């Protein structure tokens, strides 16, 4: 088997592979920077909670459409995710619960409710598609939606980069200078939700957060400046998407989990080899070495 037939021919010969590759590239561009900001805000588990929070809306969209209509399910997921984000913020501000505790409570409820709704009207195959995605079956409408979300994310980050970073590292300073920190926090949560909806279109509710957090973790191990973290996170997500799709094509594995496992392998390698990795800490260089 030649290198061409192994790595390039599947994408050239099959339209569904090309659509899946474009979807994974779009997800990488949008989810990579969002994952870095989530990790720097110490909100990694909030991202996971939000990924599960979209499930009831996607399940209701499944019932309305009478099947796996990704745009309708994505719209339902967007409404459900934003509702949970707003509700968790309201709970944290009106009760003694912290925001992460309210997120945890709401996401467990959302996950159970979503699975129940799909189970009532769908088959086990439908439930698996909702939970784990169907990136190889993504159609043009869903592809336009994913690409549109990625474009909106990149443009929004470019427009509000400075206040988002300030709110990330020192929200107290932003409040002191009248920087409307809560508004930027809500805007950031909106970006998180729409990127999870985009990830849901391709990877399902259980896998979508993987394209955010694993590349972000890799970036934090290799870089110390924010632009470099963004670049490494996006590059890691792109590599994971491409080689995950190629591996799933040749090995017959499910595509979504294979993409996430590819990112996991990069993460494990980074844990060992990165400047902030385990090997460098176990075997430090001499202090005066060049």
HEC-encoded secondary structure of the chain: CCHHHHHCHHHHHCHHHHHHHHHHHHHHHHHHHHHHHHHHCCCHHHHHHHHHHCHHHHHHHHHHHCCCCHHHHHHHHHHHHHHHHHHHHHHHHHCCCCHHHHHHHHHHHHHHHHHHHHHHHCCHHHHHHHHHCCHHHCCHHHHHHHHHHHHHHHHHHHHCHHHHHHHHHCHHHHHHCCCCHHHHHHHHHHHHHHHHHHHHHHHHHHHCCHHHHHHHHHHHHHCCCHHHHHHHHHHHHHHHHHHHHHHHHHHCCCHHHHHHHHHHHHHHHHHHHCCCCHHHHHCCCCCCCC
pLDDT of 104-152, one tens digit each?
677 778 778 877 877 777 666 666 777 777 788 888 888 898 999 999 9
Weakest-pLDDT range from 70-74, 154-158, 234-238, 284-288 = 284-288
pLDDT of 192-250, one tens digit each?
888 988 888 778 777 888 889 999 999 999 998 999 999 999 999 999 999 999 999 99
Domains of the chain: residue spans and CATH: 3-273 (1.10.3470.10)
pLDDT of 48-102, one tens digit each?
777 777 888 887 887 777 666 777 877 888 888 888 777 777 776 677 666 666 6
pTM: 0.85
């Amino acid at each position: 088997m030649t290198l061409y037939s192994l790595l390039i021919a599947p994408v050239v010969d099959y339209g569904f592979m090309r659509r899946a590759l474009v979807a994974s590239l779009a997800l990488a561009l949008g989810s990579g920077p969002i994952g870095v900001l989530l990790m720097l805000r110490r909100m990694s588990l909030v991202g996971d909670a939000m990924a599960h929070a979209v499930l009831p809306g996607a399940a209701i969209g499944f019932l309305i459409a009478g099947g796996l209509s990704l745009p309708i399910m994505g719209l339902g997921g967007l409404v459900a995710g934003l509702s949970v984000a707003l509700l968790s913020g309201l709970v944290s501000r009106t009760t003694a619960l912290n925001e992460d505790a309210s997120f945890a409570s709401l996401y467990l409820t959302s996950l159970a409710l979503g699975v129940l709704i799909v189970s009532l009207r769908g088959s086990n195959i439908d439930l698996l598609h909702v939970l784990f995605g169907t990136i190889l079956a993504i159609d043009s409408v869903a592809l336009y939606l994913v690409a549109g979300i990625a474009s909106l994310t990149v443009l929004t980050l470019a427009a509000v980069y400075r206040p988002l970073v300030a709110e990330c590292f020192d929200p107290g300073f932003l409040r002191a200078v009248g920087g409307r920190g809560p508004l930027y926090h809500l805007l950031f949560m909106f970006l998180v939700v729409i990127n999870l909806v985009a990830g849901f279109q391709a990877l399902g509710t259980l896998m979508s957060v993987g394209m955010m957090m694993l590349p972000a973790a890799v970036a934090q191990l290799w870089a110390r400046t924010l632009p470099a973290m963004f670049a490494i996170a996006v590059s890691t997500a792109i590599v994971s998407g491409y080689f995950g799709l190629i591996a799933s094509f040749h090995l017959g594995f499910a595509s979504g989990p294979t993409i996430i496992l590819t990112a996991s392998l990069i993460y494990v390698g980074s844990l060992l080899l990165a400047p902030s990795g385990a090997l460098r800490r176990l075997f430090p260089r001499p202090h005066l070495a060049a």
